[in-house]
Chain A
Amino acid sequence: MDNDLIKKRNWAFGIVAFFGLISIATYTYNEYYIYLSVYLWFGFIYGMCLQYGRFCFSSAFRDLFAVGVPRMAVGVMLATVLFALVSAFVTATGLSTFHAAPTSLHAVVAGFIFGVGMVFAGGCASGSLYKTGEGNGVALLVILSISVTQALFADVAGWTNKLVPQSWHESAVSKGLPPTINAGDGWVDQYLAGYVWDQPVMTYATMMGQTDESITGAFFSNAFLGVIVPAAILLLFVYLIWSRRSFLRKRKKVKENLNFKDDLLGYWTMIVASKRTAIAGLILGIFCGLQMFVTQGLRVKFGIQNAGTLLERMGHDYGISVNGTVFDPGYWYVTTQEAQWVGWVFAKAGADNMDNIYFGLVNGIPNPAINPADWMSLALIGGAAVMALLHNEFKFKKPTLELATWAIIGGALMGIGSRLGLGCNVGAFFVRVAQGDVSGWLFGIGMIAGAYIGVKFFNWWTERQMAKEFEACDI
């Protein structure tokens, strides 16, 4: 083994040791820190899985439209189905941490903006985290853009108030929120309290007249009808449009008369074609479900509903929301903790950004060093770095001006889409779809349409770039 590989391996072990030391030292200091360490280690596992499987939600739809490659669409559907099955078990035991989101066309619009953004940026919100762990400067720029845009967008007021329909304003003011939260001021506040909160919250189980915790509600309505059936149909479309022709062409070389069984074989071959992606999808799905189970177990053990209570018990009361809460989903999430750390920086620089719903009423802006979800994201980057270092795939890459431009534009669109949709490709799509939340597929439909438009643009852009090169080569 050459010196470079040995050095990289040592760095990988160093990162693992660093996270291990943080967990042990903080637990020794106060046992409540184990709650944050759970976030940390699940984030670490997600990072390893994402890097190993090159798991990017953007790629799932973008590569279908751009180069006709279905591997990531398969991986995402596999992960979602597994996550749904584990979640159904967790929900049926009453230990789910999930709360469904309001359902309306806003999820489609938000998904569309997010979808265009993720193609421009070269990766989704979670993909940008793991690629940062590979040393990719463009991905880091995307994260910064998502983070800053969200923190600014969540608190935007002034002239944007004029864009708010009167009905939203009246509905927001009538909610009677605490006096420190001025719900009648700020575009996002009035969008949330005046429109989104008035939309119905639906899961497939509640639509069928069942509770989410019932066996039929959790396993049949939410997991089977809400996830497994649509995922199988979606993959069938993917097979018919992008995969069937090439499979049957190869199959004809070994068998003359093809029949329905060959199509079944082709469908299955497409699913297992990329082992790395399939394995990553399976592990991600299982661990995403387990995280809810473990987090809820700790909440019961410590007698809390939210990590804000733990932070206050440990004497950290800065940046806690007016409800005494901080962002603490209890499952995989990406974008809100990114908005929080920039929100915290802005607040330290003198900004008054705790008068909005997003930070002031719900998520808070705790110090990033003790923000549970920030521990998850940092460990996700670390897990991806470890995997990349071990496979000799780590490389520092400085962004070029062209890629930096796409990263900033794409990140900003993803930031806005995330706040409109109350989450990103993970929180608003992956998690919600897997939990039987109707708004999840709506966000997904928008995201697919956005990815299509983004690819159309890049096809035009790359065509222009290559035309000059082809001309020089006379082809």
Chain B
Amino acid sequence: MKFEKVSDGHYQLDVKGYVCPHPQIYTKKALAKLAVGDHLEVIFDNPSSGESISTMCDITGDEIVSQKQESGKFVWDIEKG
């Protein structure tokens, strides 16, 4: 797991290789640390975590701004709501 600050208000969480429940738990904990309006780019390759992260954002009010997928790898940009 790797979490880093890319630029002001932009962070990246790389949880490639992790299976459930790690990606969704790490995403939840990372979002909890950010300020409203900050962006978190989550990189993961466990498809079922995507369903959980998407529902979690819908419930908490965080917005998934973009979703990219290539060869089993997912890159999601989430704006903290």
Chain A interface residues (CB < 8 Å from chain B): 4, 54, 56, 58-59, 62-63, 66-72, 119, 122-123, 127, 131, 134-136, 138-139, 242-243, 246, 249, 273-274, 276-277, 388, 392-395, 397-400, 403, 455, 458-459, 462-463, 465-466, 469-470, 472-475
The residue in chain B whose Cβ has the minimal distance to the Cβ of A246 is B59
Judging by beta carbons under 8 Å apart, are B48 and A54 in contact?
yes
Contacts of A72 in B (CB 8 A): 52
B-side contacts of A71, CB under 8 Å: 51-52, 55
Inter-subunit contact A122/B22 (CB<8 Å): yes
Q: Which are the 3 A-B pairs with shortest beta-carbon distances?
A: A395-B72, A54-B48, A122-B19
Interface centre among A119, A393, A455 (most CB of B within 10 A): A393
Contact with A along B38-81 (1 / 0, CB 8 A): 00000001111011100110111100000001111100000000
Asked if B20 and A62 make an inter-chain contact with CB atoms under 8 angstroms apart, the answer reads: yes
**CB neighbours of A246 from chain B (8 A):** 58-61
Which residues from chain B sit less than 8 Å from chain A, CB to CB?
Answer: 1-5, 11, 17-22, 24-30, 33-34, 45-48, 50-52, 55-56, 58-61, 69-73
If over half of A's interface residues share one DSSP class (helix, strand or loop), that class is named, otherwise mixed; here it is helix
Chain B residues with CB under 8 Å of A277's CB are 51
Given contact pairs A67-B24, A242-B59, A458-B21, enumerate 6 new A-B contacts (beta carbons under 8 Å): A54-B51, A56-B48, A71-B52, A72-B52, A388-B47, A466-B3
| Chain B residues positioned under 8 Å from A398 (CB to CB) | 17
Instruction: Tell me whether B24 and A63 are in contact (CB under 8 A).
Output: yes
Q: Min CB distance, A416 to chain B, in Å?
A: 21
Task: Give bound CA distance, A59 to B47, whole Å.
Answer: 13
Give the residues in chain B near A474, CB-CB below 8 Å. 5
How distant is the Cα of A273 from the Cα of B60 in the complex, in angstroms?
15
A397 to B22, CA, bound (A): 15
In the assembly, what is the distance between CA of A470 and CA of B11, in Å?
Answer: 11
Which residues of A lie under 8 Å from residue B46 when comparing CB positions?
136
Instruction: Determine whether the beta carbon of B21 is less than 8 Å from that of A403.
Output: no
Contact flag A462-B71 (CB < 8 Å), given A403-B18, A473-B4: no
Q: Which residues of chain A come closer than 8 Å to B27, judged between CB atoms? A: 67
In the complex, chain B residues whose CB is within 8 Å of the CB of A122: 19-22
Shortest Cβ distance from residue A5 to the other chain B in the assembled complex, whole angstroms: 9
Q: A123 touching B20 by the CB < 8 A rule?
A: yes
Least CB separation from B3: chain A residue: A469
- Could you write out 20 A-B pairs with CB less than 8 Å apart? A56-B20, A59-B21, A63-B20, A63-B52, A67-B21, A67-B24, A67-B52, A68-B60, A69-B24, A71-B51, A119-B21, A131-B19, A134-B72, A139-B19, A392-B70, A393-B72, A397-B17, A400-B17, A462-B25, A475-B5
Q: How far is the CA of A242 from the CA of B52 in the complex (A)?
A: 14
Report how far A4 CA is from B18 CA in the complex, Å: 23
Q: Determine if B71 and A473 form an interchain contact, defined as CB atoms under 8 angstroms apart.
A: no
Q: Report whether A466 and B47 are in contact in the complex, using a CB–CB cutoff of 8 Å.
A: no
B26 to nearest A CB, angstroms?
A: 6
A59 to B72, Cβ gap below 8 A?
no
| Pair B33/A475 contact, Cβ less than 8 Å | yes
Contact of B21 among A62, A242, A388, A466 (CB under 8 A): A62
Q: Which residues of B contact A276 (CB under 8 A)?
A: 51
- In the bound complex, residues from chain B placing their C-beta under 8 Å from that of A458 are 21-22, 25
Cβ–Cβ < 8 Å partners of B22 in chain A: 122, 458, 462
A12: min CB distance to chain B, Å: 14
With contact pairs A122-B20, A392-B72, A395-B73 given, residues A274 and B55 touching in the complex (Cβ less than 8 Å)? yes
Most B Cβ at <10 Å: residue of A242, A394, A472, A473: A473
Cβ of B21 and Cβ of A392 under 8 Å apart? no
**Residues of A close to B25: CB separation below 8 A:** 66-67, 458-459, 462
Are B61 and A463 in contact (CB-based, < 8 A)?
Answer: no
| Residues from chain B with Cβ under 8 Å of A68 in the complex | 56, 59-60
